[in-house]
Structure 1
Amino acid sequence: MMFRKYLAIVLGVATLSAPAARAETLIDALTDAYNHSGLLEQNRALLRAADEDVAIALSATKPVVNWSASANYSNPRPPGADLVTENIAISGQLTLYDGGANQLAVDAQKEIVLATRQSLVDVEQQVLFRAVQAYMNVRRSLEFVALRESNVRLITQELRAAEDRFEVGEVTRTDVSLAEARLAAARSLLASAQGSLAQSVEEFRAAVGRAPNQPAPASAAPVSRTVGDAKAYAVRNHPNILEVRHSVAAAELNIMRAEAATRPIVTLGGQIAVDGDFNDSRSFNLTASGPIYAGGRIAAQKRQLIARRDATRAGLHLTRHNLEQQVGNAYANLAVARASRQASDEQTRAATVAFRGVREEASLGSRTTLDVLNAEQELLDARTNTISAQADEVIASYSVLLSMGLLTADHLRLPVQQYDPTEYYNLVKDAPAGLSAQGRALDRVLEAIGQN
Structure 2
Amino acid sequence: MAVAPGPMRLRASLLVAAIALACAAPAARATDLLDVWRAAEQADLDHAVAREAHAAAMPRRDQAAALWRPSVNVSASAGIATHETRTRGAQFSAPGSSPSSGVNFNTSIKDGTAGRWAISASQPLYNPERRAQQQLLGLSADQADLEWQSARQTLMLRTAQRYFDLALAAESLRVLRLQRDAVQRASTEAQDRFTLGATPVTDTYEAGARLAGIQAQVLAAETEVRLKRELLADSTGMPPAALSARLPAGRSTDARPRPLDAWLLEAQAGNPDIRARQIATEAARQEASKFSLQSSVTVDLVAQASRDRLSGSGDFGSAANRGTDRMIGVQISVPLYTGGMRSARQEEALRLADKAAAEADRSRQQTAQQVRSAWLGLSVGAERVQSLAQGVKASEARRDATHLGHEVGERTTLDVLNAENDAAAARLALVQARAGLLMDRLRLAALAGQLDDTMLRAVDEDLEPATPN
1:381 aligns with 2:425: yes
Aligned to 1:130: 158
Question: Distance in 1 between the 2:290 and 2:372 partners?
Answer: 40
Aligned to 2:245: 215
Aligned to 2:60: 53
Report the CA distance shift for 1:330/1:206 in structure 2 as closer, same or farther (over 3 A): farther
- Indicate the SS of the match to 2:411: coil
Please tell me whether the aligned partners of residues 45 and 235 of structure 2 are also in contact (alpha carbons under 8 angstroms). no
1:108 aligns with 2:136: yes
Report the CA distance shift for 1:276/1:410 in structure 2 as closer, same or farther (over 3 A): farther
Question: Distance in 2 between the 1:174 and 1:323 partners?
Answer: 57
Aligned to 1:445: none
Please tell me whether the aligned partners of residues 29 and 131 of structure 1 are also in contact (alpha carbons under 8 angstroms). yes
Residue 251 (structure 1) shift:
2.4
Please tell me whether the aligned partners of residues 265 and 290 of structure 1 are also in contact (alpha carbons under 8 angstroms). no
Residue 187 (structure 1) shift:
0.6
1:281 aligns with 2:324: yes
Aligned to 1:149: 177
Please tell me whether the aligned partners of residues 190 and 203 of structure 2 are also in contact (alpha carbons under 8 angstroms). yes
Gaps of 5+ in 1: 1-15, 415-452
Please tell me whether the aligned partners of residues 168 and 247 of structure 2 are also in contact (alpha carbons under 8 angstroms). no
Residue 219 (structure 1) shift:
5.7
**What does residue range 194-343 of structure 1 map to in structure 2 within 5 Å?**
194-210=222-238, 211=240, 213-218=243-248, 224-259=257-292, 260-266=294-300, 268-273=302-307, 275=309, 281-284=324-327, 287-343=331-387
Larger of the two Rg values belongs to structure: 2
1:353 aligns with 2:397: yes
Report the CA distance shift for 1:37/1:276 in structure 2 as closer, same or farther (over 3 A): farther
1:68 aligns with 2:76: yes
- Indicate the SS of the match to 1:291: coil
Name the amino acid aligned to 1:240: D
Please tell me whether the aligned partners of residues 264 and 291 of structure 1 are also in contact (alpha carbons under 8 angstroms). no
Question: Distance in 2 between the 1:413 and 1:161 partners?
Answer: 48
Report the CA distance shift for 1:194/1:241 in structure 2 as closer, same or farther (over 3 A): same
TM-score of the pair, normalised by structure 1:
0.79
Q: Give per-residue Cα distances to partners, 1:290-334, cap 9 Å, x unaligned.
A: 211111111111111111111111122111111111110001222
Please tell me whether the aligned partners of residues 223 and 400 of structure 1 are also in contact (alpha carbons under 8 angstroms). no
Residue 394 (structure 1) shift:
1.6
- Indicate the SS of the match to 2:152: helix
Report the CA distance shift for 1:284/1:408 in structure 2 as closer, same or farther (over 3 A): same
Question: Distance in 1 between the 2:230 and 2:208 partners?
Answer: 34
Residue 98 (structure 1) shift:
4.7
| Two-structure CA RMSD over aligned residues (Å) | 2.9
Question: Distance in 1 between the 2:244 and 2:448 partners?
Answer: 30
Please tell me whether the aligned partners of residues 25 and 217 of structure 1 are also in contact (alpha carbons under 8 angstroms). no
The more displaced of 162-171 and 400-409 is 400-409
Question: Distance in 2 between the 1:407 and 1:209 partners?
Answer: 23
Please tell me whether the aligned partners of residues 83 and 108 of structure 2 are also in contact (alpha carbons under 8 angstroms). no
Name the amino acid aligned to 1:293: Y
Report the CA distance shift for 1:148/1:358 in structure 2 as closer, same or farther (over 3 A): same
TM-score of the pair, normalised by structure 2:
0.77
Report the CA distance shift for 1:127/1:167 in structure 2 as closer, same or farther (over 3 A): same
Name the amino acid aligned to 1:103: R
Residue 97 (structure 1) shift:
4.3
1:396 aligns with 2:430: no
Aligned residues: 397
Question: Distance in 2 between the 1:153 and 1:410 partners?
Answer: 41
Residue 84 (structure 1) shift:
4.5
Q: Give per-residue Cα distances to partners, 1:196-252, cap 9 Å, x unaligned.
A: 111211221233332453323346787742111111111011112221222222223
**What does residue range 93-104 of structure 1 map to in structure 2 within 5 Å?**
93-104=121-132
Question: Distance in 2 between the 1:133 and 1:396 partners?
Answer: 11
Question: Distance in 2 between the 1:390 and 1:143 partners?
Answer: 13
Question: Distance in 2 between the 1:159 and 1:378 partners?
Answer: 18
- Indicate the SS of the match to 1:81: strand
Please tell me whether the aligned partners of residues 348 and 382 of structure 1 are also in contact (alpha carbons under 8 angstroms). yes
Please tell me whether the aligned partners of residues 60 and 140 of structure 2 are also in contact (alpha carbons under 8 angstroms). no
